[in-house]
Amino acid sequence: MPHIPLVTPSLTQIGLVSYSWYLLHENLGYLLLNALTPELGFATSLAIAIAATGVAAFIFSWAFEWRFRKGAEWVADVILARIAALLPKKLGEGMA
């Protein structure tokens, strides 16, 4: 994938799992919050719920989504490569 400033690999990974996270966050998050809040308090339970739903989203994305995403990734790579070819290689290069 071409390098585009301000888009880091971690943000890219979050973007790739966002649909799985969307599908899991309400049900799994609600279940964890209800189970953990009486014992650990809301703030700790919320942190655990966010982490657990994030991990589950990465697992679901890896297990189910990757095979459907390959074609879309190829198209995106071609488009991004063409955009990157138009951009200056270094910040300020090519600017008057």
- Find the domain containing 49 and state its range: 15-86
Give the percent of the chain with pLDDT over 70: 84
Query: Is position 78 within any domain?
Result: yes
Backbone angles phi, psi at 31, to 5 degrees: -60, -45
Quote the number of domains for the chain.
1
Which residues make Cβ contacts (< 8 Å) with residue 33, sequence separation at least 6?
A: 42, 45, 46, 49
50 domain residue, yes or no:
yes
Span 46-85, pLDDT tens digits = 999 999 999 999 898 888 877 777 777 788 888 988 888 8
In a domain, 92, yes or no: no
Q: Would 96 be classed as within a structural domain?
A: no
What predicted TM-score, i.e. pTM, was given to this entire model?
A: 0.60
User: Do you know the residue count of the chain?
Assistant: 96
Domain contains 5: no
7 occurs within a structural domain: no
**Is 67 inside any structural domain?**
yes
